[in-house]
């Protein structure tokens, strides 16, 4: 009997679904099944806000509520809006992929679904959810005095300091649970890839070996990095909250990471900047070689 992460699968009954469920059982996932979009939404709407599902898999051929409808309703729900959604697509043209990602799906898989790709993407999705939950649990219920903060400059050198500062700044935002995601992503990107020089390929290997955090902490202690800081400038403007994040690294080709590209669909990382734009910030502007970024959140949203 599977006793791993609990997920929802919404897909019409078919041989493909039987194969999918067999793969998930092998991966020790606990599955709640829905035959169509209406059933999927009923399951999700009834789910617990305290102990929610860790991922949602939706096929693009759902009867009743469409796949896009279920995504839209989930993203409008406070308890569901951050749960990773994986869509199974028959049409994998770039326009269709972007339509689903912009609607709020975090990942997609081309049909027929390959077992290795399914497991890799689902593993990444569950890890993302657990990461978001840890950050959300760090948020305080209220942060007295932050509404009076108009401008401030901070700097940090370590993973722990990055997390603490992201939590503090998120509490100044109108929706802290969404703000923490983007702030942590952009600030951590500045530390690990900027100041500490961890490449995309190196991070892939470190995550696969479960050594990423150990390496970040190790490099933070190196003599060559003792004088490197990530600077964060916060400013409360008339309509926006502005965050200017500057690292002392060599920069990077940031244009590649502003969208979730096809070639990275099964990678354990590489979505941070795109997700920050989709979930947290109303505007993100990288500057120069990519070692500085200015991101903003509207003080009030419709």
184-196 pLDDT per residue, tens: 889 998 999 999 9
- Please tell me which of 4-18, 80-94, 101-115, 245-259 the model is most confident about, judged by mean pLDDT: 4-18
Q: What is the pLDDT of residues 275-290, one digit of tens each?
A: 666 667 888 888 888 7
Q: Are 96 and 89 in contact (CB under 8 A)?
A: yes
Please tell me which residue, 286 or 65, carries the higher pLDDT value.
65
Domains and CATH numbers, the chain: 6-137 (3.40.50.2300), 141-298 (3.30.565.10)
Question: Strands, E, within 90-239: which ranges?
Answer: 107-110, 151-156, 230-236
3-state SS, residue 279: helix
The secondary structure of residue 105, as a DSSP letter, is -
Q: In what order do the strands lie in the sheet with 85-89?
A: 30-34, 6-10, 55-59, 85-89, 107-110
Q: How far apart are CA 58 and CA 291, in angstroms?
A: 37
Q: How far apart are CA 70 and CA 37, in angstroms?
A: 7
User: What would the DSSP string read from start to end of 225-256?
Assistant: GTT--EEEEEEE-SSEEEEEEE-SS----GGG
In this prediction the pTM is: 0.67
Q: Is the pLDDT of residue 59 over 90?
A: yes
Q: What is the pLDDT of residues 136-170, one digit of tens each?
A: 666 655 555 677 789 999 999 999 999 889 988 98
Residue 281 has a pLDDT of 85
Compute the residue count for the chain. 302
Q: Which of 95, 79, 167 is nearest to 129 (CA)?
A: 79
């Amino acid at each position: 009997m599977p006793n791993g992460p609990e997920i929802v699968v919404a897909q019409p009954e078919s041989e493909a679904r039987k194969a999918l469920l067999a793969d998930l059982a092998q991966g020790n996932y606990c599955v709640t099944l829905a035959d169509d979009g209406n059933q999927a939404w009923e399951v999700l709407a009834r789910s617990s806000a305290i102990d929610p599902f860790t991922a949602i898999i939706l096929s693009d051929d759902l009867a009743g509520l469409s796949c896009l409808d279920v995504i839209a309703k989930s993203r409008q729900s406070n308890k569901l809006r951050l749960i990773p959604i994986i869509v199974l697509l028959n049409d994998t043209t770039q326009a269709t992929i972007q339509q689903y990602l912009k609607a709020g799906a975090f990942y997609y898989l081309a049909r027929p679904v390959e077992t290795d790709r399914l497991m890799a993407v689902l593993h990444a999705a569950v890890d993302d959810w657990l990461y978001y939950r840890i950050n959300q649990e760090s948020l305080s219920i209220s942060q007295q005095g932050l509404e009076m903060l108009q401008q401030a400059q901070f700097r940090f050198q370590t993973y722990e300091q990055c997390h603490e500062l992201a939590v503090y700044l998120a509490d100044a935002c109108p929706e802290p649970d969404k703000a923490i995601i983007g702030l942590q992503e952009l600030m951590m990107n500045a530390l690990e890839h900027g100041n500490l020089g961890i490449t995309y390929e190196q991070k892939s290997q470190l995550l696969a070996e479960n050594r990423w955090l150990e390496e970040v902490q190790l490099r933070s202690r190196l003599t060559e990095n003792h004088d490197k800081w990530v600077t964060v400038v916060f400013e409360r403007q008339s309509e926006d909250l502005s965050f200017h994040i500057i690292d002392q690294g060599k920069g990077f080709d940031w244009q590649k990471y502003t969208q979730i590209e096809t070639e990275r669909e099964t990678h354990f990382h590489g979505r941070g900047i795109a997700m920050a734009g989709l979930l947290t910030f109303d505007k993100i502007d990288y500057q120069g070689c990519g070692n500085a970024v200015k991101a903003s959140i509207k003080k009030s949203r419709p």
